[in-house]
A and B are shown apart, each in its own frame.
Chain A
Amino acid sequence: MKIKNKKYKAIDYIRIPIKVNPIMGILMIFLRIAVASIPSLQVLATSRFIDTAIDIFESGGMYRIYTSLIFIMILVAFSWISSMLLSFIKLRIELSMNKTFRTAVVEKRSRLAYKHIENNETWDLISRIGKNPSEQIMKGFRNLLNIVEYGVKIMGLMLLIVSQVWWVAIAIIGIAIPLLTLASKSGKLDYEAFSTAQKYKRKADYLKEVLSSRESVEERSLFGYTQEIANRWLNRFELARKIEYKAMKHNFLRMKTASILTAFLSMAIALVLLSPVNNGMITVGMYISLVTAAFNLVQQMSWQLSVVMQEYVKNKLYLKDLTRFSELEEIQGVDGLPDTSIQKIPFESIEFKNVYFSYPETEKKILNGLSMRLERNKQYAFVGKNGAGKTTITKLLTGLYDNYEGEILINDRNIRDFTQEELKAYFSVVYQDFAKYHLSLKENVLLGDCGGTKNQQIERDRVKRILTDLEIMDVVERLPKGIETSLGKLSEDGVDLSGGQWQRVAIARNLISKAPIHILDEPTAALDPVSESKLYKLFGKVSRGKTTILITHRLGAARIADEILVVNDGVIAECGCHEELITEDGIYAEMFKAQRSWYHEK
């Protein structure tokens, strides 16, 4: 199944479940309609039963009652058993939804253009949709079926009444229409109030985090601000609550007015029907059972009708979300395996020609006419202040964004002509916020070579070799199951690593890759300068003979590179080896001197 790009309408709440499980979907609809017609049938059965009973009092003949008694019992039995059948069918559909629809949403999400993921607004939308997609659809499905059920119930009763005394129907419709409009209106207004309240709640939630998070415990204890912040929390919470309170008050009033009106309606029916009973136009049995059914309906409707209508409005809003989600741009191939066939063409060079770039919906030019040329088998270091555009360069290289101006060439071929799968096969990156996959250590490393060999033994050997190169085999040997140990807290026997150890796992993943270009994007921010330099040296040694790009602002680490590129204000401001840059006496020299001043008195 695929999430089609289209405008989703209420009917899709029925269409999607039927699509994932046609038999159960259709069965569900039929059964719900059958259940909805029970009350009308019950009216018929009861009225016949009562009338027969009255007749028996007068003229005897007990045996005549049995057929109507059996009829009633069959109806009762059917309504009991059908409720079980329904829950069984519902489950079947739910399971199919999980299998088909949930994965379809995940697939769509994993193909989204990267700009949607970094943009806060679309990200909110994406996470809303991603939360419980199949439950949401099932909710909508059930809601529509509920509406159908009420409709059938009401229509059935109407038909019965009309068949007895036709003019009553006109009176009923006159009262019923304004009632239903009232009920459907109530949903919309509320939703707005609730989403305003939600804003305050988010703020309150943030304060709760300040009050309870581990990160803030030092400042919280020392500064002793709990009382003050807790009071503010209560303030915001109350603000949100009061908005909700108001909305709820309106809602309850509307709901109760509606149900009192419905009670009034059923009383009107009961009243109008009195004279036909008197005239003998309708039987006592019919009267009793009609009135009973009408009042039962009031009872049900008093709560459920407005709830159903409210849900309907909410579900429609979800459809809006779903429509917007389906319209989000997908990038072909971003969720595919690397296309390793391209590795057969030897890597020669990367070239940026006058590249301008700013993030979507922002004005600031992050890259401002940047030009450079990187060649094979050399080690490069990018340095510069925060926000100078270092990381952006890697984002463009790896195809996360392509709304740049100018040209980016790999082997003199435009990067836009490469497929996503080909780019994957060219680059291996350790990001600043590298992923800590909660898988086994071996799997963590092997993810660096997706689509590589599947031979268990060869794989194990390769992983071990790289871990040895990175000098963490001693840690690995202390793990309960060696390289098969699960990392992270996902499985019960999982082991958590320290920050530095995770970094090496990430670097191991990078090294096992057969990609010709290796990028390290400040993966060591949390390390002290000495440990960082050590790690970079180690990396430099292990990746000798490969093309590497280091991104850092710690100059000590940059010195191991063949060439240092200083990024400033979106261009390459300086470039050359350490000595050259010092002689140039520019930005690099300034940064270097700033650090040197700590160690040398002037």
Chain B
Amino acid sequence: MKNKDKHKKISPWSMMKKIFPQILSVSPGLFIFNSFVFVLDGASFAATILSMQILFDRVTDLAQNKGTIKEAVLALMLLFGIKVFQQIVSGVSNFIGETYDSRSKGKLSHIINLKMSKLDPVSFENAETLDDINKSYNGVKFAINFINTIVDTMTLYLPHFLFMGIYLFNLKPILAVSLVFVFLPVLITQIVRVKIFSRLEDFSAPLRRKGKYYEECMTGRKYVKETRILGANPYFMNLLRQTIEQMNNLKWKADIKANLVELGTKLISLFGYLCILWMLFDALMKQEITLGAFAAVFASISSMFDMMEEIVCERLGYYAKNFGKIQNYLRFLELPERDENKKYEEDISYGDITLENVSFSYPNGENNALDGINLTIKDGETIAIVGENGSGKSTLIRLLTGLYLPDSGNVLHNNVDTRAMTTEKLFKDISGIFQNYQKYQLSLKDNITISETGNKFKGKERIKHVTSQAGINLKDNIFNKGFKTMLSREFDGVDLSGGQWQRVAIARGLFRVHKFIILDEPTAAIDPVEETKVYKRFSDIVKNKTAVIVTHRLGSVKFANRIVVMKNGKIAGIGNHNELLASCSIYKDMWESQSQYYTQQASTK
């Protein structure tokens, strides 16, 4: 994802080409039907004015004793009929429109959801990608609105103005023309306003974030305990007041500016409006138009203005302001996918896993997280990886599984490069229990079966088997609804302790069919007794399997066939415990610093 690509502009036309089919496909019939209703809606505005003119003419006749009351009543009925029709049509079209929008929202969000799984996992290490994801979800609303604006313009506003234009032109050509001119200043104001306020937004957005943040420092759950005991409230309150003051100043200045511009142009528009009024009056006096027509036009001129303002200021202005947000949606869908151009389609049956001179660095990372790693894990072998925080243990297992792909060197599964395989094939027989295992706010059953969502296991046998293997006691009071127990306080379920969650994660890892499993030690705080139990379980799991276990407790992994010692992204030693004690000084140091606490004669300080 290079910067150049990111700021590539997408033209409105190609935006339309991409989003329109997505929205149309929600329900093509309904979409077309509603467009038709919109046209009727637009037309009914013009019909209203026409029927008003007829009514007023009849009434004038009536008063001057030239017509009958029956004619007037008929004209009134016509007007009423059109009004009712208009209400029904606008009700239907708006209702369909609004409900259609929320369906589209579902559809477009679903598209993003599915796209998510196709991204390379490593891209989630990149703050920019996370930002992109956020923006794309936000962009959905704007993408839908963008299409709506275009469709509405074509089906509602354009017919409306067309009908009105024809009507006015028939009355007196100059009316139609001058109306457009009167509206020009409004348009200009709108452009200026958008500029002023988007500049304001640029300046005030950081201030707003700051203000929110200072509030958070005083009142947020994450901060409140500490801020209070520090007595830092006055400090943050002061910062908040300053920020609000700055923000108010900016807003005030921008608003004054915008209002002055608006005042100027509005005065021009007003003058034009008065001229039109004068022309109408003049035409009336010269008897070029009837009294009814005069009254009808006079009555609807302001609603026509409102409508023009609506389309130009609100709808198009909104679109101009949020142009970037629509692009965010599309850009995300165009992010490169991991499985593009993957040729290797055959199943691989697991054999050795080989790392050849593998190096890897994180996006935005300065140094190599892994540096020239060579390692072969034999089929059925258990490997332990040990090392301090940041030594590259977790990175190594991410490359071993193929979650991440190496920058240089090769990772081979049974002699096939991880780069060549689709993720589906690659991960087919791999399972894992990760360091930051997820605490899904789902039922106990879903929490376990989420690791294998295909249809492979419908039966209850396997899930029962893995829960007991993981040490979950279903008779425990906390699982009051058995497998259906919801594991989330927020969704009316229960809260589990850290140790219980760990067991759920183990059950999850075991539920997935696997020939190769990775076990990453949890760093979340669990007490020593629980920790010992976790290792006991790990050692049971890995029997007779290809397995990799990551830990920083050296003493806990003596059951492994070989231990790999990591230091600064490199392998510092490989061998069993006794070999390493003899040959690897780093291992020896680590061992001694850890085991000293547990020897009898350890010094206290």
Contacts and interface: CB of A to CB of B under 8 A. Distances in A.
A455 to B, nearest CB: 17
A321 to B, nearest CB: 16
A107 B440 CA distance: 36
Nearest to A244: B102
A234 B110 contact: yes
A338 B231 contact: yes
Contact of A435 (B222, B251, B526): B222
Interface stretch (A168-176, A205-213, A406-414): A205-213
B498 interface: yes
Nearest to B499: A386
Question: Which of A252, A428, A431 gathers most chain B CB within 10 Å?
Answer: A252
Interface stretch (A1-9, A224-232, A348-356): A224-232
Interface string B31-52: 0000000000000000000001
14 contacts: A53-B284, A80-B266, A91-B251, A99-B241, A102-B244, A103-B237, A107-B237, A110-B219, A110-B228, A114-B224, A219-B438, A289-B295, A334-B228, A335-B228
B141 interface: no
Given A219-B432, A553-B525, A559-B597, 7 more contacts: A50-B294, A53-B294, A76-B270, A218-B436, A223-B450, A385-B530, A553-B528
Nearest to A87: B259
Interface string B207-218: 001100101011
A559 B598 CA distance: 11
Contact of B114 (A226, A267, A434, A555): A226
Contacts of A245: 99, 102
A95 B251 contact: yes
A110 B266 CA distance: 46
Contact of B498 (A299, A386, A531): A386
B284 A284 contact: no
Contacts of B241: 99, 103
Contacts of B94: 252
Given A106-B218, A238-B106, A274-B76, A595 B235 contact: no
B83 A295 contact: yes
B69 interface: yes
B218 A335 contact: yes
Contacts of A208: 109, 113, 137
A191 interface: no
B285 A130 contact: no
B420 interface: no
A560 B604 CA distance: 6
Interface string A536-579: 01001000000000000111100110000000000000000110
Nearest to A554: B528
B460 interface: no
Contacts of A226: 113-114, 116-117
Given A525-B525, A559-B604, A590-B529, A77 B553 contact: no
Contacts of A559: 597, 602, 604
Contact of B427 (A76, A224, A334): A224
A473 interface: no
A502 interface: no
Contacts of B490: 120, 202, 206
Contacts of B438: 210, 215-216, 219
Contacts of B206: 491-492
B475 to A, nearest CB: 20
Contacts of B298: 46, 292
A221 B56 CA distance: 71
B277 A431 contact: no
Nearest to A600: B598
A288 B224 contact: no
B411 to A, nearest CB: 15
A161 interface: no
B1 interface: no
A265 to B, nearest CB: 11
Contact of B87 (A218, A302, A387, A420): A302
Contacts of A336: 231, 233-234
Nearest to A552: B525
Contacts of B401: 222
Closest 8 CB pairs of A and B: A598-B555, A226-B117, A596-B598, A228-B453, A335-B233, A599-B555, A256-B91, A599-B595
A524 to B, nearest CB: 9
> Of A118, A220, A335, which is in contact with the most chain B CB atoms at under 10 Å from its CB?
A335
Contacts of A107: 237
B532 A277 contact: no
Contacts of B556: 598
Nearest to A594: B532
Given A284-B60, A385-B529, A555-B528, A130 B219 contact: yes
Given A69-B281, A431-B226, A215 B436 contact: yes
A57 B286 CA distance: 10
Given A291-B55, A559-B597, A591 B527 contact: yes
A596 B531 CA distance: 12
Interface string B387-405: 0110000000010010100
B73 interface: yes
Interface residues of B, number: 148
Contacts of A234: 106, 110
Contacts of B162: none
A391 to B, nearest CB: 11
B295 A50 contact: yes
A314 B523 CA distance: 46
Contacts of A295: 52, 79, 83, 299
A33 interface: no
Contacts of B331: none
Given A114-B225, A221-B121, A228-B453, A248 B98 contact: yes
Nearest to B391: A528
Contacts of A427: 229
Given A212-B137, A260-B87, A335-B228, A217 B124 contact: yes
B480 interface: no
B590 interface: yes
A39 B89 CA distance: 27
Given A215-B438, A274-B62, A530-B590, A225 B597 contact: no
A525 B523 contact: yes
Interface in A274-323: 274-275, 277-278, 280, 283-284, 287-289, 291-292, 295-296, 298-299, 302
A559 B232 CA distance: 33
Interface in A90-120: 91, 95, 98-99, 102-103, 106-107, 109-110, 114, 117-118, 120
A84 B281 contact: no
Given A80-B270, A263-B83, A219 B437 contact: yes
Contacts of A84: 259, 262-263, 266
B487 to A, nearest CB: 12
B237 A221 contact: no
Given A95-B252, A222-B431, A263-B87, A450 B232 contact: yes
Contacts of A103: 237, 240-241, 244
Contacts of A600: 595, 598
B244 A223 contact: no
B568 interface: no
Contacts of B125: 214
A349 B383 CA distance: 52
Interface in B419-437: 423-424, 427, 430-432, 434, 436-437
Contacts of B80: 263-264, 267
A54 interface: yes
Contact of A222 (B209, B222, B403): B403
Contacts of A264: 80
Nearest to A238: B106
A369 B83 CA distance: 78
Contacts of B222: 433, 435
B30 to A, nearest CB: 13
A370 interface: no
Given A53-B291, A223-B450, A592-B598, A435 B231 contact: no
